[in-house]
Amino acid sequence: MNATKTEATTRRLDGRKAARRILEELEERIAGLARQGLVPGLAAVLVGEDPASRLYVGSKTRTCRKLALHSRLVELPDSVTTPELLAVIGELNRDDEIDGILVQLPLPAGIDTATVQAAVHPAKDVDGFHPLNAGKLAQGRPGLVPCTPLGIVRLLERERVPVEGAHAVIVGRSNIVGKPLAQLLLAGHATVTVCHSRTRRLEEVCRSADILVAAVGRPALVGRDFLSPGVVVVDVGVNRLEDREQVRRLFGDDSPRLESFDRRGSALVGDVHPRAPRGVASAVTPVPGGVGPLTIAMLMSNTVQACESRRAASRRRPSEG
């Protein structure tokens, strides 16, 4: 798979374009449910006033409206206790209008995140974080899958990036991205290596990759020395920089990002150095506009899937008695 490439052949894997197509395809399934009198419903639980969390939830609720899905935003103060939050989730679990429940992370200090995630009914767990859904993924059984890893796999499929037989290296072992992505790529017959902060000779391991996924939350960690010719680079990181000199060093004096920084006071960078893939990688996801839009598209897909599955299960129950 690896071959010498020139800068001109390093293509951009457009997550926005792929997400638009996924949402367009989803509209047919939503219309089919509407003909049955059903509207998939997504509840987003937002705790506290974190600006980034509010921004993410806003994007998700706007996408719901565009697709004519039922959307509900539950806002709670950062003083909420774990039992109080669990009570809210319990109500949403029992609400028949709600097919999917999203609890926006991170939660404030003092909230037991693992307990909260386990409290969401597995059939409504559109984030795919419930232990039952994580177990199904590990066993290769159908279930709700975390949105970001699922979006990455869908992007690779649509861009015709060969996964079967490829060596995929994932830098990051979180339950949100790294671990579930490893399971999905294994199911696609890739050979998968998962790296982390204690991995020895990290650069050397990364250079062995046909597909390199950076998902550690460290700005520009992955440099040119991590990349082999022809590698496909998937950058999951979204890091906000507020130091102009750092932006200049990463993007260059003549970069539009520097002009944007002067207007906005901040700039986004991934976990991959923005200039590292040029002339080396065969393809790379941009930041922003790469993985992020796909995460939202797969959240919508999971919500529709949850609605379809729940309604099918409710139709089966009377005949099972």
Report the alpha-carbon angle 30-307-108, nearest 5: 110
Alpha carbon 99 to chain centroid, angstroms: 20
Q: Name the residue among 272, 266, 271, 231 with its Cα closest to residue 246.
A: 266
Helix, strand, or coil (residue 89): helix
- How many CA atoms lie within 13 Å of 31's alpha carbon, on the beta-carbon side? 6
Length of the chain: 321
Task: Indicate if the alpha-carbon torsion angle 55, 114, 112, 270 is positive or negative.
Answer: negative
Alpha-carbon gap, residue 268 to 252, rounded angstroms: 14
Compute the distance between CA of residue 103 and CA of residue 125 in angstroms, rounded to an integer: 9
Active site residues: 60, 104, 127
Cis preceding linkage at 106, omega within 30: yes
| CA distance readout (Å), 200 to 174, 175, 237 | 18, 21, 21
C-alpha–C-alpha distance, residues 131 and 135, integer Å: 6
Alpha carbons 69 and 126: distance in angstroms, whole number = 14
Which helix (H) or strand (E) segment holds residue 154: the answer is helix 147-158
